[in-house]
Amino acid sequence: MLTGWRYRLTSATGTACFVVGAVLVANHSISQSAFTTIVPLFDRLDPAVLGGSSLRWALVLSVLAIAGAAWPLYKPRPRRILDTVFLVQKRVLVGGLVLATFGYFKWSHRLPRATLVMAVGLLAISLPAWFLLIRARPTDSDGRTLIVGDDLAQIERVAPAVDAPVIGYLCPTVTQPSAMPVAEGASEEAIADGGIELRHDDSEFTGGSKQSDVLDAMARLGGLSRLEDVLVAYDIDTVVLAFRQADRAEFFGALDACHEHGVDAKVHRKYADSVLVSEGDVGELVDVDLEPWDPLDHLFKRIFDVVFAGVGLIALSPLLFAISAAIKLDDGGSFLYRQERTAVFGESFPVYKFRSMIENAESETGATISEEDAGGVDPRVTRVGRMLRRTHLDEIPQLWSILAGDMSVVGPRPERPVLDSEIQSDGIDWEKRWFVKPGLTGLAQINDVTGHEPAKKLRYDLEYVRRQSFWFDVKIVIRQIWKVLSDVREFASDE
């Protein structure tokens, strides 16, 4: 994979060349005759006035618009294949809209509509392939392995299982783990990533053994904060994770970086939970299932999310206005409220719902799970809010989060970070739910399990993580829609 200025130059030059090529191909009479009436660019203006300059100026304008829109892609940052494809296509569409805007205002050098549509279509196919090509990792992937951990002793234990040459390791401090006292004679020096670097002058670790030759043979490339820089600078293909606890924030941060940069992650079988690893692995080091979806399933899932959310927002738009008006008339307060919820790998995102409680309901009590989830009565819920909750209509604004890509239609329900911490402190491995995108509904919801039973809810969520597929999602959605209709019918009969 190219890095640094070479990547920037190659990506920018290649983009400009592809834009010129796409416009020339789309402007050719043979290409246009296959789709529409021939309207080549150089016939649209009087040659006596501009000579042959119309095409040249249109090419310059196209390069500036589309190559300019692709500016964020020139940063040498590897990404997953699907992310790269979607991001490049999004930028091509932005550039095409800029060119269409020029055409709308009758700019003298605008592209004919047929030429513009065909050029954007060609670039939507060719440019993603180009960026995937220059981002492709080296074929000698076995020689680009990095060990990442929070504890030297753990790195020592895991390193012998790596059967490929190791570039080096990342560790927040070059020090003995907290469980081991500092060896006598070791000097301390503060380092940039907030730890203490211990320089061992052949001093002995606790336990009577000298510093391992395994660590001596590897280069320390910095602390965990340098992970993304090292992944790019060294063209890392595989990261082996060696953490004392596989559920702490640093572990999930490393997984997130690997996921974002399209790098394979492995853990030692002895220190991995079954929910983390891919099925069928038999070696000591097993793959972490960072992208548990089959690529085609992932594509279908995202298409389904966009279609479901888009159609839902359009179809329910009259109801959205009616609910907003009802909340306003009920107590005069705001009709929406915003909360931070936990997403993949412990990150957070804003979620919006119709307000079903009194204003600032948690200002005094703090974040709590509503008593209604346990079948009780929550005095904070308003009259309109009670109706919204029973019919699930308060969840409609979350369709926007699905459309934006923060949520999916199906997945573990996102919880507030403070409640996540409380549940985790009770000894429940709540963070294992973080390996998939949170959802509007899930396996726990269709089985009437709420946050009042976190251990049971976790079992359903982990079962979804293990069984997830596009068709499994469809079954859950069908059951959820039936459940919502049943709740609405029951509410109507009660009233």
Task: Summarize pLDDT for 317-337 with one digit per residue, the tens.
Answer: 999 999 999 988 888 788 888
Q: How confident is the model at residue 192, as a pLDDT?
A: 40
On the question of pLDDT at 106 being above 80, the answer is no
> At 158, which helix (H) or strand (E)?
helix 152-158
Rounded CA-CA distance 297/61 in Å is: 38
Percent of the chain whose pLDDT exceeds 70: 69
257 and 170 Cβ atoms separated by less than 8 Å: no
pLDDT of 134-164, one tens digit each? Answer: 876 555 445 578 999 888 888 888 888 888 7
Return all residues near 350 (Cβ < 8 A) that are at least 6 apart. Answer: 338, 339, 340, 341, 401, 406
d(CA 24, CA 37): 17
Full 3-state SS string of 69-138? HCHHHHCCCCCCHHHHHHHHHHHHHHHHHHHHHHHHCCCCCCCCHHHHHHHHHHHHHHHHHHHHHHHCCC
pLDDT top residue among 305 and 112: 305
More confident residue, 203 or 390: 390
Q: What is the 3-state secondary structure (H, E, C) of 110-127?
A: CCCHHHHHHHHHHHHHHH
CB 470 within 8 A of CB 297: yes
Dihedral-angle region of residue 207 (phi above 0 means left; psi in -120 to 50 means alpha; beta otherwise): left
**Neighbour count for residue 309 (Cβ, 10 Å):** 22
pLDDT band at 211 (very low <50, low <70, confident <90, very high): very low
- State the SS3 of 356-383: CECCCCHHHHCCCCCHHHHCCCCCCECH
How would you label 57-81 residue by residue, b for 16+ Cβ within 10 Å and e otherwise? bbbebbbebbbebbeebbebbbbbe
- DSSP label at residue 25: H
386 pLDDT above the threshold of 70: yes
CA distance 86 to 73: 12
For residue 370, what are its two tokens?
């509503």
What average pLDDT score do residues 47-52 get? 41
Task: Please answer whether residues 281 and 268 qualify as being in contact, where contact means their C-beta atoms are separated by less than 8 angstroms.
Answer: no
Q: What is the pLDDT of residue 264?
A: 81
Task: Determine the pLDDT at residue 280.
Answer: 55
Q: What is the mean pLDDT of residues 207-229?
A: 72
pLDDT at 37: 58
> What's the Rg (C-alpha) of the chain?
28
Strands 348-354 and 336-342: antiparallel
* CB burial of residue 414 (10 Å; 0-12, 13-18, 19+): buried
Signed CA dihedral, 338, 339, 342, 347: sign only: positive
Domains of the chain as residue ranges with CATH? 4-135 (no CATH), 141-287 (3.40.50), 295-494 (no CATH)
Name residue, tokens 């703090």: 366
Strand partners, 265: 239
Instruction: To the nearest 10°, report the CA torsion of 56, 58, 62, 65.
Output: 120
Query: Does residue 4 or residue 427 have the better pLDDT?
Result: 4
pLDDT at 371 over 70: no
Confidence of residue 181 (pLDDT cuts 50, 70, 90): very low
**Rounded to whole angstroms, what are the CA distances from 54 to 97, 98, 260, 313?**
20, 18, 43, 43
Q: Is the dihedral of CA 267, 272, 278, 281 positive or negative?
A: positive
Q: Is pLDDT at 379 greater than 60 in this prediction? A: yes
Average of per-residue pLDDT across 2-21 = 83
Q: Is the pLDDT of residue 125 over 70?
A: yes
Per-residue pLDDT reduced to its tens digit, 404-422: 888 999 988 888 877 777 7
Q: Which of 411, 278, 401 is nearest to 350 (CA)?
A: 401
Closest CA to 419 of 366, 493, 363, 492: 366
Beta-carbon count within 10 A of 367 CB: 13
- Distance separating alpha carbons of residues 476 and 490, to the nearest angstrom: 21
* Distance of alpha carbon 338 from alpha carbon 341, whole angstroms: 10
Please return the burial class of 388, using the count of CB atoms within 10 Å of its CB with bins 0-12, 13-18 and 19+: buried
Is the pLDDT assigned to residue 308 strictly greater than 90? yes
Kindly indicate the confidence band of residue 307, based on its pLDDT and cuts at 50, 70 and 90.
Answer: very high
In angstroms, the CA 444 to CA 451 distance is: 10
Alpha-carbon distance of 195 to 391, in angstroms, equals 52
What integer is the mean pLDDT of 23-35? 75
